[in-house]
Structure 1
Amino acid sequence: EVRLVNGFSSCSGRVEVYHDGQWGTVCDNGWDIVDTEVVCRELGCGPAVAGWGWAWFGPGSGVIWLDDVQCTINSSSLSSCEARPWGTHSCNHWRDAGVICSGNSYSPTDQVRLVNGPSRCAGRVEVFHSGQWGTVCDDEWNLADAEVVCRQLGCGPRLSAPRSATYGQGTGQIWLDNVQCSAYASSLSNCRANSWGNNNCHHSQDAGVVCSVDTHISEHTQVRLVNGFSPCSGRVEVFHEGEWGTVCDDYWDYVDAAVVCRQLGCGFPLFVLYWAAFGQGTGRIWLDNVHCEPDDPSIYSCRANSWGSHNCRHYEDASVVCLENSDSATDQLRLVNGSGRCAGRVEVYHNGEWGTVCHDDWNLDDGDVVCRQLECGSAISTPESAVFGEGSGVIWLDEVQCTAAAHSLSSCRANSWGDNNCIHEQDAGVVCSGLNKNRKKSQTL
């Protein structure tokens, strides 16, 4: 048996295994993405996002059962992987291994995304079935259905369920019609609906969703990161009674930071920081002794002292560095129509619209930047000529020439946005190693 403890969801946390009648931890010696992948698959938590050492999710207690774990991609469970004998190790609990899984089932029918909106938590609803993405008809579409989508994506409670292609008309298949979700449905594919592809709709009826995490329509959803090196890093500030103020670092921890990162659409916390790491704020210290739960939709819903009640100074301002930088429109990137999130047609978000990349000068250096930006390893191949299908709309980038130091596709040298001599038959694609883990990775994460 294996479980994940002290994470921000059921698919993240410290790795613990059950042996000889008791639970114990796993040492991070040799812990890598292949081992992480086996744990995520064993738990039904979808592909691995990251594997962490150094007790990222807090040190455990009791026995350290496993050390020097060496799984292969075909290992059926963590206990079947090569390792030292049970209980033999050279570690302490500050070396306990952790895992972050995607939380999405391997079943393609459980893949859902929101497209063409201002962020990953608002847009046109699309589902993956039979190897391709398609839309959802708005017949019977309502707030209960939207709630399931928002929960499945980790985007907090739903705000609205727009109809009539509010976020633009999709292309290809309309996979679902007459969706009727119950409050307990774990995913959109578990809701009652017509059979796949059976509909009487047009794309002018494509359904949409707006979740609470990424929309700031009232003061009680506003949070920002200040003075950092990106929109997803910095000093945490919240808005209350018409004024921005800081958060004291008393009891500030990974779960609290995870709520903030998710609320901003910035992925997971990479570093949870104290003592005004990004400089001291000014004005009010609004929150102290914050205690968030993993499923809190925003920092405003977390337990804390009453507003403005604290025993702190600004040199105790809390900060965070989130794993992803998804606030910048020019840094939004996705792979479409592949077998998972780490392979497909390359699409970038610019000027409020998703578009494709022309394959002129497209090569492995460019693909490596895409894979690295998406946390998908390195590029295995960079297919040209719309191998993953032709896109639609704007071709945003042409003549891309990335260097090894580029941190995102939008930072690579290329023609100006939208300047190209291409057609969609030349759309570029990428296959990253994140989907092809046939050999043991040597590095320790």
Structure 2
Amino acid sequence: MPLPNQIEHAEFSKEQRVASHVRLVNGDNKCSGRVEVVHDNQWGTVCDAGWDLKDAAVVCKHMGCGTPIAAATGAFFGQGSGPVWLDDVRCSGNESAVTNCSSKALGKSTCSHEQDAGVVCRAQVVRLVNGSRSCSGRVEVLHDGQWGTVCDDDWSLSVAELVCRELDCGDAIEAKSDAYFGEGSGQIWMDEINCVGNESSLVDCGIAGWGIHDCDHYEDAGVTSPVRLNGSDSCSGRVEVLHDGQWGTVCSDYWDSTDAAVVCKEVGCPTGAEVTRNSYGPGVGQIWMDNVQCTGTEISLKDCTFNGWGINNCYHSYDAGVICRGRIDTVFYLVNLYLTTQVTD
């Protein structure tokens, strides 16, 4: 097999990305298995050359399966059949699908099915509830098959940021306390959380023990994120960002679908984005961002290139908006559709 530095990489075309779907096969649950993609109505596999946790993370996120536990190699989940569609995949970790990652040209693989790649993902064990959008709300964790809340004792911005990273929601702006998003019910699972900073999930942080606390639900913890959509639902509206403690808008100069997709991803919505201008009425206050230019790999809109905070030549009649939609021709094929008790909602 050629060495990595001898391989010519190529990005999928837009047509290839739209035509490609993903499934996990032969795993113990819907969040583990051999990775397969379909092209031209034919399922094929992924070669394990260079296959690592960054690549697995993209698959796990795409399948709604949280974070990766392992990037399986050597046909760990059995050998597939048909073409080996992808070889020498190199994901940055921010792509929305494995077919958006850099790789050898589609179908140009030197691998056999003995090298089929797979993933083992940890299904979502943290969620946000009762927020006005999907990336803000009361923090709840799944333990022993039951969702419960988190006490706000020692709840900090750094822990809130871990939650937002885990949920692919960009940066946290506030660690909310005192049941800001309403009181939960049932168990209070976590109290006095101690994170060291390298955890991939809130549930990896130190606690006295599951369900051990001296709290009531009026102390439930929550988080909010720095971008919101002011519209008819949580996945469409005028784009607003929080800076220096004040919400403001984004000018639609150079505003395009790549910029909008970053917003959709940040607020936890489908990333098939449609851009709008003043479709949701003019905002008020500051116009914080102008001439935004995103590459599409950013975690947050504020990570994109722009003029500088508050530097603009716009009026609110040019306020940018987005409509976040899943592509109607995107299908996720999930096999072995059963969950263990630990990951059952």
> How far off its partner does 1:237 sit?
8.1
SS, match of residue 321 in structure 1? strand
Q: Alpha carbons of 1:309 and 1:272: their partners in 2 closer, same or farther (altered >3 Å)?
A: same
1:187 CA displacement: 1.6
The residue type equivalent to 1:322 in the other structure is: C
Higher relative contact order (CA 8 A, sep 6+): 2
Of 154, 178, 196 in structure 2, the residue corresponding to residue 182 of structure 1 is: 196
Does residue 1:31 correspond to 2:23, yes or no?
no
1:249 aligns with 2:254: yes
Structure-2 residue corresponding to 1:82: 81
Contact 2:264 2:270 in 1 (8 A): yes
Aligned partner (choices 160, 167, 175) of residue 174 of structure 2: 160
Write out per-residue CA displacement over residues 111-153 of structure 1, whole angstroms, 9 at most, x where no aligned residue. Answer: 2012223333332221112222122233322222222112222
In structure 1, what is the Cα distance between the partners aligned to 2:239 and 2:164?
24
What residue identity is the alignment partner of 2:169? C
Q: Is the 8 A contact 1:249 1:318 kept in 2?
A: no
Distance in 2 of aligned mates of 1:292 and 1:25: 14
CA distance in 1, matches of 2:156, 2:196: 11
Are 1:106 and 2:109 an aligned pair? no
Residue 308 of structure 1 is matched in structure 2 by 312
What percent of counterpart residues are identical? 28
- Which of the residues 144, 151, 164 maps onto 1:130? 144
SS at match of 1:148: helix
Q: Which string of whole-angstrom CA distances, capped at 9 and with x for unpartnered residues, describes residues 194-225 of structure 1?
A: 2333x13343354312222356xxxxxxx657
What is the distance in 2 between the residues matched to 1:303 and 1:149? Answer: 25
CA deviations over 1:56-97 (Å, ceiling 9, x no partner): xxxxxxxxxxxxxxxxxxx95799533337899xxxxxxx94
Q: CA deviation at 1:163?
A: 3.1
* Change beyond 3 A, Cα 1:318–1:147: closer
**Contact 1:135-1:206 at 8 Å conserved across structures:** no
Tell me the amino acid that sits aligned with residue 312 of structure 2: G
Check 1:136–1:236 CA distance in 2 against 1; reply closer, same or farther (3 A cut): closer
Distance 2:195 2:248 in 1: 40
Residue type at the aligned position of 2:269? G
Q: Is the 8 A contact 2:237 2:323 kept in 1?
A: yes
Cα separation, partners in 2 of 1:159 and 1:290, compared to 1, 3 Å: same
Match of 1:200 in 2: 213
**Alpha-carbon distance change, 285 to 214 in structure 1, aligned in 2, over 3 angstroms:** closer
Report how far residue 270 of structure 1 moved: 1.0
Structure 2: runs of 5 or more not aligned: 26-30, 37-52, 65-73, 88-97, 102-118, 339-345
Give the SS at the match of 1:196. coil
Q: TM-score with structure 1 length normalisation?
A: 0.44
1:280-299 residue pairs with structure 2 within 5 A? 287-288=290-291, 290-291=293-294, 294-299=297-302
Q: Describe how 1:4-403 pairs up with structure 2 within 5 A.
A: 21=7, 23=9, 31-34=20-23, 38-39=34-35, 43-44=56-57, 45-46=59-60, 48-49=62-63, 76=75, 80-84=79-83, 97-98=99-100, 106-107=121-122, 111-197=125-211, 199-204=212-217, 206-213=219-226, 232-233=235-236, 246-249=251-254, 252-254=256-258, 256-262=259-265, 265=267, 267-271=269-273, 287-288=290-291, 290-291=293-294, 294-299=297-302, 301-305=303-307, 307-308=311-312, 320-323=322-325
**1:160–1:235 distance in 2 versus 1, CA, 3 Å:** closer
Tell me by how many angstroms 1:294 deviates.
3.5
Contact 1:236–1:247 (CA under 8 A) maintained in structure 2? no
- Aligned to 2:60, the other structure's residue is in SS state coil
The answer to whether the 8 A contact 2:241-2:288 is kept is no
Amino acid in the other structure paired with 1:213: P
Q: Aligned to 1:161, what secondary structure does the other structure show?
A: strand
TM-score (norm 2): 0.54
> Aligned equivalents of 1:84 and 1:145: distance in 2?
44
Q: Distance in 2 between matches of 1:203 and 1:376?
A: 42
Amino acid at match of 1:106: C
